[in-house]
Amino acid sequence: MPSTRALLRQQPGLTLEFLAEADAGRIAETIAAFANTEGGTLVIGIDAMGEVRAGIMEEDVDGALQAATRMCKPPVPTHWDQDQINGMDIIQLHVPKSSDAHFLLDGRMLVRQGHENVEVDSPGVQRMGGHAATSDFELETVAGATRDDLDDNVIDEYMERRQKRTPRSRILPKDKLLQQIGAMSEDGTPTANGLLLFGKEPQLFLPQAKTIFVKFADTQPRRPGGEIGYGRREELVGPLPLIIDRAWRVTWEEMNKQAVVKGLQRNEELEYPEVAVREALVNAVAHRDYRLRGRGIEIRMYTDRLEVTSPGGLPAHITLDNIVDEHYSRNPRIVNGLYQWGYIEELGLGVDSMIEAMVNAGHVPPEFDATASRFTVKLFNRKDPALAVQKWEHTMNERQLKALEFLQRNEAITNSDYRELCPHVGAETLRLDLADLVSKGILLKIGEKRGTRYILKNQ
């Protein structure tokens, strides 16, 4: 248990909240939001300003927690610890991340965004319901599979790279490590996670875990002669790391390339930045919904764009509006495996890296498209010399990029225009977005109150 004094040095956030009194309704909302997101700790007896409140009794908290638990469907599992500050009792209520989707009795589903409990809209509820058992799927043993279906050469390579990534980690026997990372059960049966990361032929058991590459000769799905069809098709199989490598290789082979001379050096410039393509591929492999059968990841190369589509909509509380700011792993063990392997450099920064690479190379930012059953990344090969932001900043979000793209087509943007672009985002958040672009020197604010509009500063 972390000391309460240590928690007081932190601000309320994604996994931490303070509550002055044992209010059953507030407790229910917070524990449900924690369980539906990343888990967290609710400190009862301290207000949001960090002031310790007297009068918190253990029996009061116990009664309020029981009432709060009855307000959640299904009940949220919790455990709690008692602490003291200046002789006053403090309760720490710990909530693990749940594989279930938890609702309140009034039908609301809440998730944690920043330091707030936020209600999920209907499409989000569908995504949450579809996500609920995904992490359990990783740990499900695969019928008919045995230890012999795991490739020891692939496992050895993983262990070597893992040791380089985390040199201080304890070196375990091979099978013990496989059990620890959820790749194999105690009786030696491979899990879905194990077959996907280390399987000799994982598609024998999980045929949906393949990737299809297709190249077209037009901006539409047509052959070189103009008829409907494709010019090249490749089916990529094997464990996920091998699929990533093969997908990159075939995509690289089909990309246009040109020699660029800078000073005395001759460099090869690709049709799409390597970092952006790799991030799109890794993102698809790491975050697709592997429970969905009948469809693999699809890489479609057209003459004007590259599309990478993965089965399964955006997970949990992630939306197109917050995809840069918020992070959530549908397959946490697969993500960690690819991170230890070195395919993921910084956890949670794949989308940022994609946007940065494209914009820094002079391309328009990537487009993201999501439905309840798929997620698509679109990289365009056209360059825009009039692009307002030549260097992507990690502090800029996807909403702000939408505003800049709007300004490429229009002379000015108003608060009303911005609300139409981001209809599910609060007015104050959007106002702060525009104020941030003004402070960065990208936009110029003109007018006041209802007449306020924003233009690109370099116009």
Residue 363's pLDDT band (boundaries 50, 70, 90)? confident
For residue 437, the tally of other CB atoms under 10 A from its CB is 24
**Residues 344 and 406 both lie in one domain:** no
Number of structural domains (the chain) is 4
- Beta strand pairing status for 374-380 and 305-311? antiparallel
Q: Which two tokens stand for residue 399?
A: 């909403």
pLDDT digits (tens, 9 = 90+) for 309-343: 999 888 766 778 778 777 777 888 999 999 999 89
On whether both 225 and 343 belong to a single domain, the answer is: yes
Considering only CA atoms, which of 345, 287, 268 is closest in space to residue 127? Answer: 287
Is 282 a member of any domain?
Answer: yes
Last residue of a domain, one of 204, 222, 248: 204
Tokens of 151: 């490739």
Q: Considering the entire predicted model, what is its pTM?
A: 0.60
pLDDT at 396: 67
What torsion do the CA atoms of 183, 185, 190, 194 make, to the nearest 10 degrees?
A: -10
Examine the domain organization and report whether 215 and 306 are in the same domain: yes
Q: Say if residue 352 is in the same domain as residue 227.
A: yes
CB 68 within 8 A of CB 92: no
Do 30 and 156 sit in the same domain of this protein? no
Q: Same domain for 428 and 450?
A: yes
Q: How many CA atoms lie within 13 A of 151 on its CB side?
A: 17
Q: Which of 345, 380, 415 is the last residue of a domain?
A: 380
**Final residue of a domain: which of 119, 153, 175?**
119
In sequence order, what E strands does 204-296 have?
A: 211-215, 232-236, 257-262, 265-270
Residue 367 shares a structural domain with residue 282: yes
Higher pLDDT, 457 or 218: 218
Domain assignment present for residue 132? The answer is no
Residue 100 shares a structural domain with residue 240: no
Answer yes or no: is 18 within a domain: yes
The stretch 237-263 carries a mean pLDDT of: 86
For residue 55, the enclosing domain spans: 4-119
Terminal C-alpha separation, the chain: 56
Domain of 115, CATH number, reads: 3.30.950.30
Evaluate whether residue 356 is within a structural domain.
yes
Q: Which positions ≥6 away from 153 have C-beta within 8 Å?
A: none
Residues 79 and 146 in one domain: no
Do 424 and 351 sit in the same domain of this protein?
A: no
Instruction: Kindly state whether residue 128 falls inside one of the protein's structural domains.
Output: no
**pLDDT-above-70 percentage for the chain:** 87
The conformation of residue 102, written as its DSSP 8-state character, comes to -
The predicted-structure confidence for 74-92, as pLDDT tens digits, reads as follows 788 888 788 777 777 788 8
Specify whether 323 is located in the same domain as 434.
no
- Whether residue 154 is predicted with pLDDT greater than 80 in this model: the reply is yes
Residue 242: closest CA among 215, 272, 210: 210
Q: Report the Cα 19 to chain-centroid distance in Å.
A: 29
- 9-48 pLDDT, tens digit per residue, is 777 888 889 888 888 899 999 999 998 888 888 888 887 7
Q: Binning pLDDT at 50, 70 and 90, where does residue 279 land?
A: very high
Calculated CA dihedral for residues 65, 99, 142, 344, nearest 10 degrees: -130
Q: Residue 402, SS3?
A: helix
CATH number at residue 257: 3.30.565.60
